[in-house]
Amino acid sequence: MWIKEDNTFNDIRKRSVEQWLNDIEDNEDLVVRGGVKVTREYIEYLENEIKRLKDENNLKNTYLKKTAGEKHGKRNST
C-alpha cells in the first residue's frame, strides 16, 4: 500500500513565493521587474530538474530491483 506524500508545506511555500513575485512585479524599478522574470524562469528550471532527477531515480530503482531479483533467483535455483 502506497502512502501519498504530503506536500502541504511545499504548496504553501510555492503559493507564498508566487504571491510575493506578483506583488513586486509592478515595481517601477526595472531591475526588480527583470528579477521577477528571471526568478520565475529559475523556479521553473528547478522544478523541471527535480522531475528529471526523480524520473532518473525511479529508473535506477527499477533496474536495481530487477538485477537484485535476478541474483536471488539464480541463488535459489542452484
Asked whether 25 and 33 are in contact (CB, 8 A), the reply is yes
Task: Give the integer Cα–Cα distance in Å for 10 and 13.
Answer: 5
pTM for the model? 0.70
Annotate 19-76 with DSSP letters as a single string.
HHHHHHTT-S-HHHHHHHHHHHHHHHHHHHHHHHHHHHHHHHHHHHHHHHHHHHHHHH
Note the pLDDT of residue 78.
46
Domain spans, the chain: 22-77
The predicted-structure confidence for 28-68, as pLDDT tens digits, reads as follows 888 888 899 999 999 999 999 999 999 999 999 999 999 98
Note the pLDDT of residue 30.
82
